Every structure is written in structure tokens, then in C-alpha cells.
Amino acid sequence: MHFHFQLANHYFAGLYRIDDIVSPIVWGLRALGHQVTSGILPHLPSWPSAVVIQEFFDREGSAEEVLNWKLGPGPRKCLGLICTEDLNDDLVMGDPRWPRRRDSLLRILPHCDFVWTIIPGGYELHVPPERLAFIDYGYVEALRRDGLPAAQRDIDVLFYATINERRQRLYDALTRQGLRVAATRGYLPDYIRYNLMSRARLVLDVRRGDDVRFTSPSRIAAALQLGSTVVSELFDTSRLGNLYKYTEAHPFEAIERQCLALAQAPDVVERGLAARERFRSETSMARNMGEALALPVFKELAAAGAP
């Protein structure tokens, strides 16, 4: 089958923020033999190609553009949506910077041929089960990278995130402990982000707020692909909590103490490499994408002779 990832709905700086979400899905599909393209096309392919969009419809007119294409005259179209946020998380869906985001998403969901979610964020209330699939993140050989030798790592703790007030408190506390701390801050192209990760003894993933219910599977998986030792905040009781077995998971109040101990541990780099090998042997993004392709629409596409 042919999947085209259309990214025109994202603001350009935002394209940097979705690489760790989109790339494993793309390479998981390619590992299964599917053709995958991506970009910002003025004219989108129709059936039996599948157009895939990652949710973010806040720009004025962006939702209308998608709906006009999907519902307009002409040949049949296949529309898929990747959803990455909890519909009930007001820190994102209620953010005053993006006032149209939730309503635009709810307008588009009924018209999608398939919806892939990476968190269990309430989409089953808006999408029937025959059009909804969950994507677990797993190992992708094509995205494997190697960090620097331990002696060349000049960052003790790297925040893999933007820095808000909650994270800033921890950032400052770790700095006061004498650790060398840095952050990706969300808007870096992947070559800079991976350079920072390759230099870090620890990669830290903490949630943006106390009310956030789900961890970030794409960030944890991206760090594991690099063989990083990941320190994650222990709070998620959903299926995403399975990723904790590949991290050093601790409650928020214990992270400062654990980072200080781990950053000084002589085997800190080896811990991450061992976790990557477990992640490689126990998970597979290709297998997970195969499960996401079990929806009826993909049988239709295959029967239609999709390339």
C-alpha cells in the first residue's frame, strides 16, 4: 500500500517536534514493504493511496482544507489521522495559544477512514472500533543510532522536552547539585537533538504537569533507539507503562536524587545500551504497525490493488 504523510497543517517549527512521532511509524510501515512518502503536496493522492495527517488543526482554515478535500467531488479519498494527545488534557487541548485545536479535531474525526492513536486518550468515544487502532512504539533497526563513548559525554542530564515551570524547578535543582544539564526545548532539528542525546549520560523524560495521565512513548522510544539511559517519571498506569521496564522509572520527587546517583555511576552508559538490546529483542515497530493495519479499510485498499 501507499501512505502519504501530509504535513501542511503543522507550522514549520512544529515539524521539528513531530519527527520522533512520525519516523517510527514511517519506518515500521516500510519494514512491512509499504511505500511511504511525506511532504506538503498541493494535490493529494486519491484512493487507493492513504493520506495520513498528524493531528494539529489550529491554523485558521486548516481543518476546512482537509474536510473540503475529503468530502469534495471527485474520486474516493482515504484519510487517516495520527492522534498524540489526551483529549482531556487541558494543558494541550485547552491551551489558549491553540484555541481551535480540540474543536477542529472533533470535527475531523468522524470523517477519517482510520485513526491511529499513540496514547489511550478518549478517542474511543468519538471513533468506532472498526476505524480505531492503537500504535505501541517498538524498536526500528532503521532508526538505530549510537551515542558518544562515555568519556566524551559532556552532558549529565538532558531534558528531552520543552521547559515549563514544573520542569524548570527540576532543571534548577539538578544544576545546583553540580550536574551539567541541558534541554532539547522542543524546536530543534533532529541532527541537533540527536547530537545532544549522544552527548548525554542520562536522558530525562518528565510530564509537563501533575494532571497529565500518559507518558511520552515516542520520546522514550527515540532515546532507547540511541542506547540512552532514560530516566522517566513513574506515574502512567496505562499500557504505556510497559515502557518503564526499559527505563530508570521513579516518582517525580525522587528524580533529583536518582539522577545525581546515576550520573555518577560508572556503568551509566552501559545501562542504556543494555536497555536498548532488551527493547530490540522484545519489541518490534514493524509488528506493531502490522497490528494497526488490521482495520477493515486496509483490506479494502489491498483488494483495490493499492501500490
State the DSSP code for 307. Answer: -
544539564: which residue's cell?
181
Signed CA dihedral, 295, 296, 297, 303: sign only: positive
> Is the same domain home to 160 and 212?
yes
Q: How far apart are CA 112 and CA 132, in angstroms?
A: 10
pLDDT of res. 124? 95
Residue 192 domain boundaries? 141-282
The three-state secondary structure class of 157 is strand
> Is the same domain home to 188 and 126?
no
**Distances from the Cα of 28 to the Cα of 16, 76, 219, 290, 307, angstroms:** 20, 26, 16, 8, 17
- Closest C-alpha to 230, from 165, 160, 170: 160
Q: Where are the alpha helices (DSSP H) in 10-110?
A: 12-17, 19-31, 62-71, 90-93, 101-108
Helix 285-292 / helix 19-31 crossing angle, nearest 10 deg:
80
Indicate whether this model's pTM tops 0.85: yes
Contact by Cβ (8 Å): 168, 185: no
Number of domains present in the structure of the chain: 2
pLDDT of res. 187? 72
> Is the same domain home to 277 and 297?
no
For the chain, the straight-line distance linking the first and the last C-alpha, in angstroms and rounded, comes to 5
> Is the same domain home to 119 and 159?
no
Question: Which three three-digit cell numbers place residue 207?
Answer: 510530564
User: At residue 258, does pLDDT exceed 70?
Assistant: yes
User: At residue 157, does pLDDT exceed 80?
Assistant: yes
**Amino acid found at 51:** V
Residue 307: CB atoms within 10 A of its CB come to 10
> Is the same domain home to 209 and 131?
no
pLDDT band at 10, cuts 50/70/90?
low
> Is the same domain home to 159 and 72?
no
> Is the same domain home to 40 and 169?
no
pLDDT of res. 90? 85
> Is the same domain home to 125 and 85?
yes
pLDDT of res. 101? 87
> Is the same domain home to 130 and 158?
no
> Is the same domain home to 149 and 39?
no
Q: Which residues pair with 134 in a beta bridge?
A: 117
pLDDT of res. 6? 86
> Is the same domain home to 86 and 147?
no
User: At residue 82, does pLDDT exceed 90?
Assistant: yes
> Is the same domain home to 150 and 276?
yes
Q: Which residues pair with 181 in a beta bridge?
A: 157
502519504: which residue's cell?
4
Which CATH number is 75's domain given? 3.40.50.2000
Residue spans of beta strands (DSSP E) within 221-298: 230-233, 248-250
Phi, psi of 261 (to 5 degrees): -70, -45
Q: How far apart are CA 229 and CA 248, in angstroms?
A: 8
